[in-house]
Amino acid sequence: MKIMVAYDGTLQAKEALVYGMDKAREKGGEVVALHVFNNGMFVDYDATIGAQGAARAESAQFIAEAKTIIREKGKGVKASLFSTEGNPTDEIVSFAKAEKVDVLLCPPKFTKIINKYQQAIGASEMASEAAKLQVAAVSTKTM
């Protein structure tokens, strides 16, 4: 079983990463986490000078936090962390399809990603423990 976590540094993403690793350990699977820096949000954006630099620094902090979570909570689990730039919805769906993930966990703000991935693979939304974490989930298999 391959579990993917769309990681954005929020509390829900942190919980999803830990939950995903726990499930992967339980089922003998693996976890891939993806962080996407939304570089498009700065196009035609009237922000202060340095706003993009500050956002990149925050993004780097999120990646460092995910690495720490994987190191501390991922003992016995094959876990990988990837990062990219672009439109989060497009990048996450594309990555999930390319990696052929069985379960996609996302913070609630990414509900449209779940819907788009469902359409792409013909899956149905999961009603599972992930819902208790306020994490949106989609699966091609039963967890």
pLDDT at 45: 62
SS3 content of the chain, % helix, strand, coil (to 5): 50, 20, 25
Query: Tokens for 99?
Result: 């990696």
Give, in order, the Cα–Cα distances in Å from 75 to each of 7, 44, 71, 89, 97: 19, 44, 7, 29, 26
What is the DSSP secondary structure assignment for residue 132, as one 8-state letter?
G
Q: What is the value of pTM for the model shown?
A: 0.80
Domain count for the chain: 1
pLDDT at 43: 65
pLDDT at 125: 44
Name the amino acid, one letter, at 79. A
Phi and psi (nearest 5°) for 73? -110, -5
Query: Tokens for 20?
Result: 């995903």
pLDDT at 17: 95
> Is-contact 107 90, C-beta < 8 A?
no
What is the DSSP secondary structure assignment for residue 86, as one 8-state letter?
S
pLDDT at 44: 63
Local mean pLDDT, 10-residue blocks, the chain (143 residues): 92 92 93 93 69 89 97 94 94 90 82 70 48 45 46
pLDDT at 109: 75
Q: Tell me the Ramachandran region of residue 46: left when phi exceeds 0, alpha when psi lies from -120 to 50, beta otherwise.
A: beta
CA distance 142 to 61: 33
Quickly count helices (H) and strands (E) in the chain: 4, 6
CA distance 120 to 97: 8
pLDDT at 13: 92
CATH number, domain of 110, equals 3.40.50.620
